[in-house]
């Protein structure tokens, strides 16, 4: 709950001190266009990371391979199979 309150207060501060003067100085149209391109840049960054495998997770098969032959992993093999 504390995390939600911190995020809410941070967003409130951002709107009051960042977004309002930005919209006032550039106008609604230019501010929304710039915000749209900023969001597009964020999405493209994510897609680039996925395409070039910058984030590699550990699948179930990899967990079994790592645990094979170790004493504490025999119960893990029976649960997944």
Using the CB atoms, write b or e for 2-29: b if 16+ within 10 Å.
eeeeeeeeeeeeeeeeeeeeebeeeeee
Q: Mind listing the pLDDT tens digit of every residue in the chain (81 residues)?
A: 899 999 999 988 988 888 888 899 999 999 999 999 999 998 888 888 877 776 555 555 554 455 555 565 555 445 555
What CA–CA distances, in Å, run from 65 to 27, 28, 52, 75? 57, 55, 24, 14
58 in helix, strand or coil?
coil
Domain chopping of the chain, boundaries:
2-80
């Amino acid at each position: 709950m504390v995390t939600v309150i911190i995020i809410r207060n941070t967003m409130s501060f951002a709107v009051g001190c960042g977004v309002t003067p930005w919209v006032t100085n550039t106008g609604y149209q230019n501010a929304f266009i710039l915000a749209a391109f900023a969001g597009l840049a964020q999405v493209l960054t994510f897609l680039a990371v996925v395409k070039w495998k910058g984030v590699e997770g550990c699948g179930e098969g990899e967990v079994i391979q790592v645990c094979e032959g170790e004493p504490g992993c025999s119960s893990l093999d029976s649960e997944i199979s």
